[in-house]
Chain A
C-alpha cells in the first residue's frame, strides 16, 4: 500500500513539473512589442506598416477621396455633378449632408489617420535602433510626411475651414506629439486649434522635405513633401508660398505630364506624372476608389457614383478628352468615370497636373508669372486633353479647370471651402450651403466622444 502511494506521488510530481514548462507559449503570427521596438528591422517594418495603414480602404485606399467628392455634391439628382447611387448609408449621408455621429466611414477615417500618426511617432522615437545615419534621416522624414498627410485630412474633414487673415482658433483635431505605448493610461485629450494643426503640418513637411532624398522609389521623395506643402499652403490661401512650392516641384522633381490624359490613371506602378501614389497590389492594399466608381466588370460595385450631365455640361469643348473619359456600364446604363478601372491599380494621391493648376491659380491671384504664366500653365493642361486653348483667363475659369481636370480625385469639398464657395442645392440660388456650414464638417465620431472625456464635439452634432 505504502509503495503504491509513493510511486504514484513520484509519478504525479514528475508529471506536473514537466507539464508546467508547457505553459510558455509564444505567439506565432504576432511579435511582442519589446522585440519589435528593440530592433532595426522592427522599426523599419513599423514605418512600412504605416504606409500599409494609409493604403487601407478606409483612408487613402479610397474612402477619404470619395468622401471629399461626395461632401461637395448637392444631393439632388437634378443638380448634382456626381450622384450617389450606392447602398452605403454612410456615403449617402455625406451626399445628402446629413452625416450622423455614428457614421462608420467617418469613424474609420478618423481612426486610421491616428493609427498612421502613432506609427510614425513610434518610428521617430525609436529611430536610435537604426544604425545608418542617412537611413535614420530618411525614415524620420518619411514618418513626418505620413503624419502630415494624416493631420491634413483630419483637420480639413473635422475642423471648420481655415480662413486666411483670421485667428484660426476654431477647434481642429487632437495633436499627439508622442507615440502612445501604454493603453492602460487615460488618453483623453481636447482638440487643438486649426491654426495649431496647420502650423504642425507645415513644420513636419519642411522637416520631411529636408530629410527626404531626391528619389525614393515609390515612397515619398523630397518633391512629394513639397507638393503636399503646396497643397497645404493653398488650403490656407497662402498663395505665394503655394506658388513657390508648386513651382519647385514642376521645375525640379523630374516629373512630367503624361502624354495623354488617360495615361495619368490606372497605374500598377508610378508613372512620369505621379508625385505620390498609394501602392496597391493584388496581395496588399485595397483599391476602394475602384470599388465605388467602377462597373462590376472593372472590379467595382456597378457604379455607386454616377456622372451626371450637370458635370459633363461644364466642359466647353465637346472634344475635350476629359469630357469623354468615361463609359456607360452596360449592366445599368450608368455613366462612369474611366479614371478608376484597374481593380488592383494604385490610388493616385498627388500628380503633377495639380501643381500646374496651383501655380496657375496662385500666379493669377498674385498677378505674377513665377515659372510660367497662368495662361500657359492652363493651356498646357488643356492641350494634353485636346481641349481648345484659352486666350484669356478669369479666376472662375481657373477654378473650373481644376474641376475638369481633378474631378473625383478627392478635391471637391476642400476646394469649395478654401474658395469660400457654397453648394447651390437647387442650382438656382434658392438654397445655399455655405463653405463654413457645420454640415460640411464631419462630426467627431461617437466612438471617440464616448471614450475621450475631454473632447468637444463639432457644432450641430449631438452624441
Chain B
C-alpha cells in the first residue's frame, strides 16, 4: 500500500505539473497521515523561494503560491515530499520511522533503507529522548539488533562497553569508531584514577537527530582500517525550512541502586566470627581481641553498634535535565541552536555529574550551487568522582568493614580505626574532580559542479581537554605528608580534512548510479601533564601552590596520523537489482614502515523481489528483498607505537635511567576482519516488517599481546599478529503496527541477536591465559578459566574442588580434593552474552503516549573477584554476605558453604564458587506521557505541552547473586565484579513545551 501511495503521489505531481497555469493567489490544503489524522506543524515551503508556512492544529494550511508551483512538505519522522499546488489540497505524508523510506547515514553520504544492501541499525531522536540517563549510549540499550551496550557499572561517569556483533578482537580495541557529523571523535579514556571515564559523556542526547550503527563490512569498509568494530554515526539536528520553533524540555528524577546485597549484622557477625575463631585458631580469643579493636570502646557484647556500611555507601541519586532548542530556516539559510544542562547525583556517595552543552548548526546557500556551513558545539562536564573499585576508599568497599565498627566518632568525624581505611575519611577529607571540556566543530562546503556532480570539502576539529584535581587533606587515609594535591591536564586534539566527489545520475531511466570518491587526512595529538605537591599548611589549601614541595610530575606527548583514500559505487537497475562496491586505502603512523598501508574492499548486492512483476501487486507480501555482502575492515587500535622496540625513562636516585619497555615486532600489521552478511527483508500486509540476517566476521592476524615467559626479563608481552577469531550469529528485527486508527496507535519493535565468538587459531595452538580467563582454540573468546568448586565435604566441612586432571584415556578425573593445588582449571563460562533481545512497545491513545522497552541477555557470567573476601565463611574479618551463615557446622550437614575457619583459607581459592550466570530480563525503560488538548493552548502561543513520567532499569528479573548483571569492576579484568556499583534505577517527571 505504501509503495503504491508513493507512486500515486508521483503521479499526482506529474499531473499537476502538466496542468500548471500561471494563476496567482493562495493555495490551501490539509496535511494528514495515512490514517487521515491531521498533522500539525508541517513545514510547507514554496520551492525555490523563502515563502513558507506551517500546518495548524487541524493540519490545515494556506500559502501564497501559484497553482502548479511546487510545494515542499517536511516534518520530523515523515518523508519530505514535493507536490504541485492546487486548491483544497489533501496531502498525505508517509511516516519514515523504521520504514523503508528512512534515510540511513552511511558515511560520506546517505541512502534509503529500501535500496540499501548494508546492515545498519538506526535509532532516531524520538527513540532516545527523555530516557533519564546521563549519556547517549545508555539510551540505546535494547534498541539495536546486534549491538551490546553495557555501562561498566553504576558510577555516573562510568566507562561504556559497546560491542557490535561480538568481539572482533581480543587485545586490540573492541570499541566502535564514533563519527559525529563526519568527524571521527576522540574516544580516549583520560582518567588517571584507575577507572575509566566515558569520553562521550560530553554529548547531550537532545542535539542528536539520529544514530546509525554500521554493522557489516559493506557499510563499514568505507571507514577501512578503523571499521572492524563497527561504526557509530551520530547525526545532529539541523534547521528546516519554515517558521522557527522553540522547544523546551525539563525533567527531574530520583534514583537508587537496582539491587543491594545482604550483609551480616552485628549479631550474625559475632556469631560467625566467634565460631570461625574457635575452628580456625582453637579458641575465641583471636576473634574477641579483634572485636575489641573494631568496637573501639563500644560494648560489642551487648551489640551496641550495628553499622550498615552498605547503606552509608549508597545514596538517593537525583537527575535534573533542562534543554532547549531553536530551529528553523528558509530556502537559503538553516539554523539549529540548542543548549542543555544536566545534573546527575549518583547513587554512590560523593559521585556527581554536572554538564552544560550547546550547539549551533548553520548552513547557508551562497548561490544555487554553493553551500557553506558550520557546526559547532562545546560542552563542559564536571564530575565528582570516587576511587576505582580496587581502592580501599571507594565507597562500596565499605561493605568489607565490620558492623561492629562505628562509622563516625561521637564528635562526628569519621572513625579512623576500622578494619580497612574508612572511606568516610576519604569522603570527608578528599575530592577527585574531573572536568571534561569538549569543542567539536566543522566548516563545510558543497559545490555543485554540474547537476550530477558535487564536491564536498570538510575541515573538522575535535578537542577533548580533561583536567583532574585530586586533593587529600591532613586527615585523609594513608596521609603522612600533611595533605597532597595532584593535578592533571590533558589535551586530545584531532583535525580532519576530508574532500570527496559525489556523482549521482540516472541513465536511460533504469540505471541509477551513485559514485563517491575522496580522501581524508586525520591527525591526532595528545599532550599530558601532571604534578603533585605535598606538605600543606592546612586543609584550606587545596591546589598545587599550597604545597611546600612539588614531589612528582609528568609530561608527555603522542600522536598518530591516518592518510586515506576511498571510493564507493552504488548501482541500481530498475530499483530492483542493487549493487555496491567500496574501497578504502589507509596509511597510518602506527604501523611499521613495511606494513604502513592497508586496503579494504567490500562488495554487496541486493534484489528487491517485490518489485518484480509477479509480486508487485501482492497484498500479502508487501515487500521482499534479498541481500548479501562481503568485505574487509581493519582494526588499528593498538597504541601509537606498537611495532617499535622501545626503551623508556626509568630514573634511579634522581639520575636518569632507561629500561626496556616494549618488545618490537617489525612484522606487525593491520588486524583484518573479513565479514560476510546475508539477509532477507520482507513485509506483510504493510503491517509487519521482518529482517533476518546471518553474519560471520572472521578476524585474521589478530593483534595480540602474547605473554612471554617472565624469565625473559623484558616486556612480559609482545604484540603479534597471531590467531584468528570468528564471531557469527543471527539478527532478527521485527517491527509491527498492531493497531492503527484515529485514536489508537500501537507499534512493537522486537530484536534478537545470537552471538558465538570463538577462538579459531592460536600460534602453535597454544593457550593464552590471563588472570581468570583463557583464549583456547575452539572455545569462546576470553572464556573463564577456573578451578571447579565441588561444594563441601559433609564429613568435615572442608571445601572441595574437582581435580579435573586428565586421565590416561583423555577423560577428566572428576574425583574431588580438599587440596586446591591438586585441582586443575577448566573452561567455566563466557564473560559475554550469547543471546540478546530487546522489545519496545509504543502506544498512543488520544493524548496519551506510552512506551516501554524490555532488554534481556543470556549466556554470560560474572566472576566476583572479591568473593574470596566477601563470601568465605569468615576467613578474615571482612564482613560476609549473609549466605555464609549456611556454613557447615556438624558432620552430615549438607551445604555449599564450608566450615567457618578464621585464617583457614577453607574455600578461598579462586574457583567457580565465585562465578555466577548473569542471565537477565530487565524493564529497561518505561515512559508515559500526556499531551494537553490543543484547544487549551491555542491562545497562549504554545503549540504543544506534554507531561511525562519516565523510568530506567525499573524491574530486573535474574537469578544472579551479585549486585547487578551489569555491574563489572572498572579498574581491570574481563567480566569481573569487585565491589562494583550496580546501575541506577531512576524515575523522572518532566515536561516538553513547544512554541
Contacts and interface: CB of A to CB of B under 8 A. Distances in A.
B905 A282 contact: no
A302 B644 CA distance: 43
A396 interface: no
Contacts of B663: 183-184
A87 B713 contact: no
B860 interface: no
B557 interface: yes
A45 B589 CA distance: 28
Contact of A25 (B286, B481, B559, B711): B559
Contact of A282 (B450, B551, B708): B551
Interface stretch (A49-57, A62-70, A413-421): A49-57
B876 interface: yes
Among B478, B501, B644, B659, chain A packs the most CB atoms within 10 A around the CB of: B659
B812 to A, nearest CB: 14
Interface in B705-745: 707-716, 718, 720
B822 A462 contact: yes
Interface stretch (A96-104, A206-214, A253-261, A315-323): A96-104
B868 interface: yes
Interface string A161-204: 00000000000011010001101100111000000000000000
Given A42-B658, A283-B552, A296-B480, A30 B646 contact: yes
Contacts of A42: 647, 658
A19 B661 CA distance: 30
Interface string B648-674: 111111111111111111010000000
A29 interface: yes
A384 interface: no
A53 B650 contact: yes
B647 A30 contact: yes
A165 to B, nearest CB: 30
Contacts of A220: none
A20 B587 contact: yes
Given A15-B521, A46-B657, A332-B417, A448 B824 contact: no
A193 to B, nearest CB: 16
A451 B479 contact: no
B652 A301 contact: no
A462 B521 contact: no
Given A33-B660, A42-B658, A48 B651 contact: yes
Given A32-B646, A180-B714, A451 B556 contact: no
B821 interface: yes
Interface in B392-421: 392, 416-417, 420-421
Interface in B821-855: 821-825
B455 A8 contact: yes
Contacts of B416: 331
A111 B708 CA distance: 11
Contacts, number: 255
Contacts of B715: 183
A136 interface: no
B931 to A, nearest CB: 52
B646 A49 contact: no
A184 B720 contact: yes
Contacts of B656: 45, 48
Nearest to A42: B658
A116 B417 CA distance: 40
B563 A180 contact: no
A283 B647 contact: no
A25 B560 contact: yes
Contact of A184 (B417, B587, B718): B718
A313 interface: no
B708 A183 contact: yes
A110 B713 CA distance: 9
A228 B667 CA distance: 44
Given A100-B820, A102-B910, A461-B821, A23 B587 contact: yes
A96 B903 CA distance: 8
Contact of B644 (A4, A30, A76, A187): A30
Nearest to B476: A296
A1 B450 contact: yes
A422 interface: no
B647 A46 contact: yes
Interface residues of B, number: 91
Interface in A224-271: none
Nearest to B587: A23
B449 interface: yes
Given A20-B563, A24-B589, A46-B658, A451 B519 contact: no
Contacts of B499: 12, 15
Interface string A66-107: 000000000111100000000101001100101011100001
Given A283-B552, A461-B821, A111 B293 contact: no
A119 B659 contact: yes
Contacts of B716: 111, 447
Contacts of A187: 708-709, 711-712
Interface in A338-368: 343
Contact of A30 (B501, B662, B869, B903): B662
A309 interface: no
Given A96-B903, A119-B660, A462-B822, A189 B709 contact: yes
Given A23-B587, A118-B712, A279-B653, A4 B449 contact: yes
A89 B878 CA distance: 12
Interface in B799-813: none
Interface string B507-540: 0000000000001010100000000001000000
A29 B527 CA distance: 11
A122 B767 CA distance: 30
Given A23-B587, A77-B286, A183-B715, A49 B657 contact: yes
A33 B643 CA distance: 12
A28 B903 contact: no
A55 B652 contact: yes
B439 interface: no
A284 B651 contact: yes
B711 A45 contact: no
Contacts of B645: 32-34, 181
A279 B652 contact: yes
Interface in B868-915: 868-869, 876, 903, 905, 909-910
A10 to B, nearest CB: 13
B769 interface: yes
B653 A189 contact: no
B713 A117 contact: yes
Contacts of B662: 30
Contacts of B646: 27, 30-33
B596 interface: yes
Contacts of A410: none
Contacts of B478: 296, 301
A373 interface: no
Given A49-B650, A87-B420, A180 B286 contact: no
Among A50, A283, A460, chain B packs the most CB atoms within 10 A around the CB of: A283
B195 to A, nearest CB: 20
B565 interface: yes
Contacts of B523: 22
5 nearest A-B pairs in the assembled complex, by CB-CB distance: A118-B713, A48-B657, A183-B663, A49-B657, A114-B713
Given A187-B708, A296-B478, 18 more contacts: A27-B646, A29-B558, A29-B649, A32-B644, A36-B647, A45-B658, A52-B651, A100-B910, A111-B716, A181-B645, A184-B665, A189-B711, A279-B652, A284-B652, A296-B480, A298-B480, A331-B417, A448-B709
10 contacts: A22-B523, A27-B646, A30-B641, A32-B646, A46-B660, A52-B652, A89-B869, A111-B716, A283-B651, A301-B421
Interface of B: 281, 286, 293, 392, 416-417, 420-421, 449-450, 455, 477-481, 499, 501, 519, 521, 523, 534, 549, 551-552, 556-561, 563, 565, 587-589, 596, 640-641, 644-665, 667, 707-716, 718, 720, 767-769, 771, 820-825, 868-869, 876, 903, 905, 909-910
